[in-house]
Structure 1
Amino acid sequence: MNIAVLLKSVIATDEPVVVRNGKIENSEAKWVINPYDEYGLEEALRLKETRGGTVTVLSAGNDKTIEALRTALAMGADEAIWIRTEDSSGDEHVVSLLLAEAVRRGGFELVFAGHLSVDNGAGQVAIRVAELLGWPHAGAVVACEVGEDGTVRVTRDAEGDSESWEVPLPALLTAQQGLNEPRYPALAGIMKAKRKPLREMTADELGIDTASGEASARTTRLGLASPPERAAGRKLQGAVREQAAELIALLRNEAKALKER
């Protein structure tokens, strides 16, 4: 099978996040593959091992993206495509157009992506790509089996329950936690990754003008700030009845969480 995996490079979840002048200070931060995308990559690699074929990873972003793509190659992907953009956290509309065109040109039969990204949690890009391609899509997949009849059978998380679907190929699936346990890159894989192709592309090469028209960004970030520091707790004194009365007064007058009847 010819399989593609959409990846996003994100700041590692154990890294401190510092906001300065309305921007995240990330020059020294460690960048990794978005954890949900790792589930998609692992599933693609398992399908390749059982059914043969190739796995290509694609990502749109700035040069921070390269490390994530190299890691994917070390895990077992055959090829990486880096679509260079100025901002790795850019508008989902533009990123979707870029990735969809790259997938269209690649002739892929199946595309995996993460259910969402841990940095903004929008969960938009993969679904937009499926819509742009005119492909069926199944989200939050926790089990996957490709049949011999040109379909893929999936079980998806449905907010505490599960649903089973049969989707015709080509299709796009987004991976939910529980689909599998992603592997760690072995030393041999890390060495082989240095010889695997990492192809750089631009929006111009894909025939997409991101500066104007339909391919321009649809959203603009107006501001970014750290959450306010949490105020110190308050300990209520007196008997239980007095504490209850004071708590109700605080919720009504200070927190504005209660209204007068």
Structure 2
Amino acid sequence: MTIEMLTDQDLPTAMRQVSDSVDAVFADILATPPGASERLYEAMRYAAIGGGKRMRPLLVVASARLFDVAPQNALLAGVAVECVHVHSLVHDDLPCMDDDDLRRGRATLHKRFDEATAVLAGDALLALAFELLARPETHADALVRAELISTLASSAGASGMASGQMMDMAAIDATLDMDAVVQLQQLKTGAMIGWCVGAGAALGAADAGQRVALSHYAQCVSLAFQIADDLLDVEGDEQAV
């Protein structure tokens, strides 16, 4: 579970480096135990390992680098937020939500296993996120760990990502104006991206001015990302994603 400090390199190289490191952590902490939990761990590994852009962990690592945070600390925080992200994808794909058959070019988790296993795997990944943030290996200061846990819970819950998904589902039968679309995007994507950038600042004990600047940056990035993601939903090829 190691990652080298990011250097001034091109974005694809940085993304690949972080992605490989995230996969290595997942492979370690999700080692499949024998017995009753084996199927659950297999489902969690299927969902978490070897896919996705890993943009959220990259933002954690990159923002933490600004404050000379140890790469290992940033990586664990990045894996935690990726747990929440993967959990959201697993649940979004379920028939009661988006009812998708494919994710990242292969069968969605509930198609590969079954719906009940998908629900449990998503729940377990969500719980794992907070377990990782609570570990002393993430940061020596318990107050920093508590801040990371509290802010991630807020960003993922009813005041963040979950409300964004609720708005997105309701929008199927409604026409949203520009303000509503921006609010949806800020909740569904922006809250979690804001956490990623803020996590690096929290790990590095950034001052108030630095945190405000990073928050403004996160708002711009999240809006651009959600616009691109929405366009891919219309024009993209699921087999090629």
If the length of structure 2 is used for normalisation, what is the TM-score? 0.26
Q: Which has the higher strand share?
A: 1
If the length of structure 1 is used for normalisation, what is the TM-score? 0.24
* Greater radius of gyration (CA): 1
Q: Which has the higher helix share?
A: 2
